[in-house]
A and B are shown apart, each in its own frame.
Chain A
Amino acid sequence: MEAIRMRGLGMLVTALALAAISCAHKGGSGASPASGGLSADAVGYVNMDTVMAAHPLHAQLQAMQDQIGVLQQEAAVVPTGMNPAQASAYDAMQRDLATAAQQFQQDLGQRRAYYERREAEAIGRLQAAALGQNPNSSGILGGLQQQYSQQAQALQKQAFSTLDSYRTELFRQDNEHLKQVQQLIASDMRAKLKQRESQLSTVETKYQIDLVKADQEQRLNLQAKLQNLALTDADRKRYQDQLNAIDAAEQSKINALKARDNAEIVKLEHDLNGQAAAKYDLERKATTLATQSKLMARQRDMQTSINPQMQALSGKFQAQLNDVNARLANNEKYKAQAQTIHDQMQSGYMDEANKAETAYRQVRADLIAKYSAIAHMQFEDNEAIAAQANKLAADRRDLYQRIADQVRGQVEQIAHSEGIAVVFGSVRAAGTAVDLTDQVTKAVSSLQASTSLPQPTASGGS
C-alpha cells in the first residue's frame, strides 16, 4: 500500500511537472524577441573569427589587412641616415606640414560651424512657422530648452542666494564671537601679568628695605665719622668711599633682582601669549567646524527642497517638448522641408570641404617637393600614405560589413531552425549557451564567392 501511495505521489509530481513545463513555455517564449513561429528559448554564440575565415572572400579581406599593415608601418617611418642639412630640411618640412594641417583643420572647423549655424537658424525658422509662431524667432526646441535652463537657473540662484545670506550671517556671528573671545583672552593675560608684576615689585621693595636695614649701622657709623671736622682729607676720602661702596653694593643687588624679575616677566608674557594663541586657535577651529556643519545641513535641506521643484520643472518642460516633438513628427511637410534644408547645407559644406582638402593636399605636395629639392633626397608624405591606409581600411570595413551581413543572414536561419532566441558574436567563454560556430561555418563556407554580396552600405560598416 505504501509503495502504491508513493508511486501515486511520484505520478502526481510528474503530472505537475508537465503542467509546469507547459505553463513555462507559454509564459516564457512569449517575451522572446526572436521572430518567426518557432518557440525560441535558448541563447547561442558563434566565433566570428572562425566563421569569417571560412568565407570565400576571406583571402581578399586578409590581403587588404596585410596591405593596410604595410601602409601603416610605412606611414610611421622617419627617414634614417640623413646628414645635418637633410635632417634640418626634414624638420623644417615637418613644421610646415604641421602648420598646414592645423590651418586646414581650423578652416574646416570654421566652415562646419558656419553651415551648422545656418542650418540651425533655418530649422528654427521652419519649426516656428510649422508651429504657427513668429518665423523670425529662434528655434522652438532651443527656445524651450533655453526657457527651461533659465527657470532652472533662477530656481538654483534663489536657493543659492538664500544659502549665501545664511553663510554671510554665520560668518558675521563667528567674527563677532571670535573678537569677544580674543578680547577676553587678552584681558585675562594682562591681569595675570599685572598680578605677577605686582608680586615681584613687592618683593623688590621688601628686599631693598632689608638691605638698607642690614647696612644701617655701618652707614650711620661712617656718616658720624664724616661729621668730625678734624678728619684728615685722606681719612674723609676713605670713609666716603666706604659709604659709597655700601650704596653701590645695595644698588647692585637690587639691580640683579630687578633683572631676574624682568626676565621672569618676559618669559611669563611669552608663555601667556602662547597659551592665549592656542586657546584662541582652539576656539576658532571649534567655531569654524560648527559653522561648517550648520552650512552643510542647510545645504542638504536646500537640496532636498529644491530637488522636487527641479524635477517638476523638468517634467513640465519634458511634456512641452514631447508635445512640440509630436506635432513636428506628424507634420510631413515640415519633415520634408527640414530634410531639404539639411541636405542643402550638407551638400554646401561637403563641396567646400572637398575643395579645401584638394587645396590642402596640393600644399602638402608642394612642401614635400620643395624640401626634397633642398635636401637632395626624396621625402615621403606620411600623411598621404596614412590617408591611403585609411581609404583601404574603409574599403576593407565595407567588404567586412557586407560579409558580416551575409553571415548574419546564415546565423538568423540557423538560429530560427534551432530555436535560438539570441546569438552573440563575441564572447569571452561559454557556459550553457549553444555553440553554433560549426553550423554557421559550414553554411558560410558553402557560399559561392560569386554569390552577390549585399550592396555596400553608406556608412561603410563597423
Chain B
Amino acid sequence: MFSYDRKRRMRGAALSGLVLALILGFAPQVLATDIADIGFVDQSALGQLGPFVAAQQQFAQFQRDLGAQYQAAIKGKSQADQARIYQDFNGRAAAKQREIFGPLLERANNAIASVAANKNLGVIVDKTIIIYGGLDVTKDVIDMLNQPGPVLAPVNSPPPSNVGFVDQRQLDALPKVKKANDDFLQFRQNLQAQLDAQLRGKSGGQRQQTYTAFNKQLSDEQKKLLQPVIDAQTSAIASVAKKRGLLLVVDSQSKLYGGVDVTADVVKALQ
C-alpha cells in the first residue's frame, strides 16, 4: 500500500515536472512570440495620403452642400418632421461616406493585412493606443498603398494572438446599457432646455457660471448613470480575458488586423 502510494506520488512528481517543463519551456516562447507579433499603424499618416485627402475634401464639400440643403429643408417644419428630415439627411451622408471612403478603406485594410501576413504579425492596432514598444509598420503599409494596381488581401488568416478586442457597439446595444445611455440622453436634453431658459438675459460672467454649473450637473449624472455600466463591462471583459489567457483586450475600433474577438463572450457574461 505504502509502496503504491509512493509510486503514485513519484509518478505525480514526474508529471508535474513535465507540466512544469511545458509551462516554463513553451509558454515563454509563446508569450515572447506574441509580444513580437504586436504591430501598429499610424492611421493619421494614412489619412494624409493623396487619395484620402482628396476623399476628405470631396466629403467635406458634400457635407457643406448637404448642410445648406438641410437648413432649407427644416425651415418652418414641426419637430417631428425635423427629426425625420435629420434622419434622412444623416442616412444620405452615411451613404456618401461609404461610397467615397469604402474603396479606400478596403484597399488600406488589404494593405495592412498583407503587411501583417508578410511580417507574421498576430495583431495590428492603431498607433494612438501604444505608448511604448511594438512594431511600427506604417511605412510598409504606405509603400503598399502607393503601388499602382490593386492591393490584394492575403490568402492566409492571421496567426493566433494573445490580444483580444471587443465591439463596444454590441455592448451598447444590450438593454441595460441602452437604457442607461437613453436615460442620460434624456437627462441631457431636459437640462439643455433648462439651460436655454436660464441663459436668458444673462451676460459675461453670469453666463459662464451657468455653463459651469450645467457641465457639473451633466458630469455628476454621467457618473451616476453610466459609471456602474462601464464598471460592469470592464469587470466582465477582464474576466473573459483571464479565462481565455489573453494579455489584454482593446476596443475593436483600435484593432486594425488580427486579434481575438471576445465580444460574444462578454455579451454572454453581461446578460
- A interface with B by C-beta (< 8 Å): 2-3, 6-7, 9-14, 16-21, 23-25, 27-29, 31-34, 40-43, 45-46, 48, 66, 69-70, 73-74, 77, 80-81, 98, 102, 105, 109, 144-145, 148-149, 152, 310-311, 313-314, 317-318, 321, 407-408, 411-412, 415, 420-433, 462
Contacts and interface: CB of A to CB of B under 8 A. Distances in A.
A80 B196 contact: yes
A31 B32 contact: yes
B149 A429 contact: no
Contact of A3 (B7, B196, B199, B212): B7
A33 B31 contact: no
Interface stretch (B19-27, B91-99, B109-117): B19-27
Contacts of B129: 424-427
10 contacts: A10-B10, A13-B14, A20-B25, A24-B25, A45-B248, A70-B215, A73-B214, A144-B148, A423-B132, A427-B250
A420 B133 contact: yes
B14 A43 contact: no
B200 A426 contact: no
B17 A428 contact: no
Contacts of B133: 32-34, 40, 415, 420-423
Contacts of B132: 34, 408, 411-412, 415, 420, 422-423
Contacts of A16: 21, 25
Given A13-B21, A152-B149, A314-B149, A430 B238 contact: yes
The 4 closest A-B pairs by CB, nearest first: A28-B32, A20-B25, A6-B10, A314-B149
A96 B195 CA distance: 28
Nearest to B71: A98
Contacts of A321: 147-148
B148 A318 contact: yes
B189 to A, nearest CB: 14
B247 interface: yes
Which interface class (under 10, 10 to 19, 20 to 34, 35 or more) fits B?
35 or more
Contact of A32 (B32, B166, B207, B234): B32
A81 B247 CA distance: 58
A43 B36 CA distance: 10
B128 A426 contact: yes
B194 to A, nearest CB: 13
Given A13-B14, A17-B21, A98-B68, A428 B250 contact: yes
Contacts of A407: 131
B29 A6 contact: no
B6 A3 contact: yes
B33 A17 contact: no
B76 to A, nearest CB: 11
A102 to B, nearest CB: 7
B49 interface: no
B179 interface: no
Report which residue of B61, B242, B245, B247 has the largest number of chain A beta carbons within 10 angstroms of its beta carbon. Answer: B247
B241 interface: yes
A73 B131 CA distance: 33
Contacts of A34: 132-133
Contact of B247 (A24, A318, A425, A433): A433
Contacts of A25: 28, 32
B173 interface: no
Interface in B215-271: 215, 233-235, 237-238, 241-242, 244-251, 254
Contacts of B238: 429-431
B94 to A, nearest CB: 22
B158 interface: no
B55 interface: no
Main secondary structure of the interface of A (DSSP, over half): helix
A422 B40 CA distance: 11
Nearest to B192: A73
A426 B254 contact: yes
B35 A43 contact: yes
Contacts of A29: 32
Interface string B55-86: 00100010010001001000000000000000
A14 B10 contact: no
Interface in B181-198: 195-196
A428 B242 contact: no
B232 to A, nearest CB: 11
Contacts of B28: 21, 24-25, 28, 41
A70 B26 contact: no
Contacts of B130: 422-425
A423 B199 CA distance: 46
Nearest to B32: A28
Nearest to A112: B57
Contacts of A73: 195, 211, 214
B99 to A, nearest CB: 20
A423 to B, nearest CB: 4
Contact of A14 (B20, B33, B128, B248): B20
A311 B131 CA distance: 39
B106 to A, nearest CB: 17
Given A148-B148, A318-B149, A429 B251 contact: no
Contacts of A415: 132-133
B38 interface: yes
Given A24-B26, A45-B248, A313 B234 contact: no
Given A17-B17, A431-B164, A31 B36 contact: yes
A2 B250 contact: no
A32 B36 contact: yes
A318 B147 contact: yes
B7 A6 contact: yes
A45 B31 CA distance: 16
B10 A20 contact: no
B31 A28 contact: yes
A3 B147 CA distance: 68
Given A13-B14, A314-B149, 13 more contacts: A10-B13, A17-B20, A28-B32, A32-B32, A33-B36, A422-B38, A422-B132, A423-B132, A424-B130, A424-B250, A426-B128, A426-B250, A430-B247
